[in-house]
Amino acid sequence: MKSITKTMVVAFVVLMAVSLLVAPAAARTVTPGSTIYVGEEGLDLTGVNAGITRLVHYSDFTAGAADNIIDIPTPNDYELTATDVGGITGTYYAWNAAGIIVPNVFVVVKEADVTLDVVLNNSRTDSVAGKSVSRDTVLAFKIQNNVGGLYTVVPNATMNIDITTPGGGTLRQFGGVSTAAVPINASTIYVAGIDLSGVEAGTYTAQAKWTSGNFSELPDSGTVSFEVTTKALAIESNKDSVIRGNNFVVTITGESNKMYYVYIKDASLNGNEYPQIAPGQPSVVPGTTVPVAEAANFTFTKANVTTNAAGTRTVQFNTNSTTDDQSFTLKVLDPTDASKSDDVKVRVEKGSVTLAASGTGVYYIGEEITLSGTNTDNVTTYLFLTGPNLGVNGVQVDNVGTAVTDGVANTFTSTSVETDDTWEYKWDTSTLGEVVDSGTYTIYAVADPRNKANLANVQYATQSVVLKTPFITATASASSVAKGDELTVSGTAEGNPNNVFVWVFGKNFRSLSNSASVESDGSFEYDLDSGITSTLASGQYFVVVQHPMMDGTQDVAVVAGTAADIDAPGMTAVNLSNLQASDAATALVDALNSPNVDDTYTKLTFLVEEPWIRIDTIGDQSVGSTFTLTGTTNLATGDELLIDVTSASFQPTEKTQAAEFSGASGTVSIQQGEPYNTWSFEVDASSFQPDEYIVNVESVETGTTQTTTFNVVTGPVTTPTVTPTGGETTAPTTAATTAPTTAPTTTTPGFGAIIALIGLGAVAVLVLRRN
Mean pLDDT of 97-106: 93
CB-CB contact of 276 with 300 (8 Å): yes
Decide if 714 is inside a domain.
yes
Mean pLDDT of 656-676: 80
CB-CB contact of 164 with 170 (8 Å): yes
Confidence of residue 561 (pLDDT cuts 50, 70, 90): confident
Same structural domain, 615 and 597: no
Confidence of residue 508 (pLDDT cuts 50, 70, 90): confident
Q: What is residue 653's predicted lDDT score, i.e. its pLDDT?
A: 52
CB-CB contact of 546 with 554 (8 Å): yes
Q: What is residue 246's predicted lDDT score, i.e. its pLDDT?
A: 86
- Residue 636 reports pLDDT greater than 60: yes
- Residue 322 reports pLDDT greater than 90: no
Decide if 5 is inside a domain.
no
Mean pLDDT of 239-252: 93
| Range in 258-272, 609-623, 713-727 with the lowest mean pLDDT | 713-727
Same structural domain, 427 and 506: no
Q: What is residue 19's predicted lDDT score, i.e. its pLDDT?
A: 42
| Number of domains making up the chain | 6
Same structural domain, 646 and 686: yes
Same structural domain, 168 and 205: yes
Distance CA 201, CA 634 (A): 105
Decide if 9 is inside a domain.
no
| Range in 666-675, 682-691, 706-715, 756-765 with the lowest mean pLDDT | 756-765
Confidence of residue 656 (pLDDT cuts 50, 70, 90): low
Mean pLDDT of 235-261: 93
DSSP letter at 494 equals T
Q: Which residue has the higher pLDDT, 222 or 26?
A: 222
Same structural domain, 341 and 371: no
Distance CA 207, CA 670 (A): 96
Final residue before a domain boundary, out of 609, 625, 641? 609
CB-CB contact of 356 with 287 (8 Å): no
- Residue 216 reports pLDDT greater than 70: yes
Q: Supply the range of the domain harboring residue 39.
A: 28-110
Mean pLDDT of 755-762: 37
Q: Is 533 helix (H, G, I), strand (E, B) or coil?
A: helix
Mean pLDDT of 741-746: 36
Confidence of residue 14 (pLDDT cuts 50, 70, 90): very low
CB-CB contact of 543 with 489 (8 Å): yes
**What does each C-alpha distance from 726 to 720, 723, 729 come to in angstroms?**
17, 8, 9
Final residue before a domain boundary, out of 177, 197, 229? 229
Mean pLDDT of 345-369: 92
Cβ-Cβ contacts under 8 Å for 121 (sequence gap 6 or more)? 138, 139, 140, 192, 193, 194
Q: Which helix (H) or strand (E) holds 18?
A: helix 2-21
Decide if 463 is inside a domain.
yes
Confidence of residue 152 (pLDDT cuts 50, 70, 90): low
Same structural domain, 149 and 277: no
Cis peptide before 103 (omega within 30 of 0): yes
Q: What is residue 115's predicted lDDT score, i.e. its pLDDT?
A: 97
Distance CA 633, CA 614 (A): 6
Final residue before a domain boundary, out of 110, 128, 159? 110
Q: What is residue 755's predicted lDDT score, i.e. its pLDDT?
A: 36
Which residues lie across from 609 on neighbouring strands?
482
Same structural domain, 620 and 685: yes
Same structural domain, 626 and 770: yes
DSSP string, 192-250: EEEE-TTSPSEEEEEEEEE-SSTTTTSPPP-EEEEEEE-PPPEEEES-SEEEBTBEEEE
How large a percentage of the chain has pLDDT more than 70?
A: 87
- Residue 98 reports pLDDT greater than 60: yes
Confidence of residue 410 (pLDDT cuts 50, 70, 90): very high
Same structural domain, 195 and 259: no
CB-CB contact of 707 with 536 (8 Å): no
Decide if 10 is inside a domain.
no
Domain of 620: which CATH number?
2.60.40.10
Same structural domain, 364 and 379: yes
- Residue 465 reports pLDDT greater than 90: yes
Same structural domain, 319 and 345: yes
pLDDT digits (tens, 9 = 90+) for 168-199: 999 999 999 999 999 988 899 999 999 998 89
Same structural domain, 762 and 639: yes
Distance CA 334, CA 252 (A): 11
Q: What is residue 245's predicted lDDT score, i.e. its pLDDT?
A: 81
Mean pLDDT of 131-156: 82
Q: Is 707 helix (H, G, I), strand (E, B) or coil?
A: strand
Decide if 264 is inside a domain.
yes
Domain of 440: which CATH number?
2.60.40.1930
Decide if 16 is inside a domain.
no
Decide if 20 is inside a domain.
no
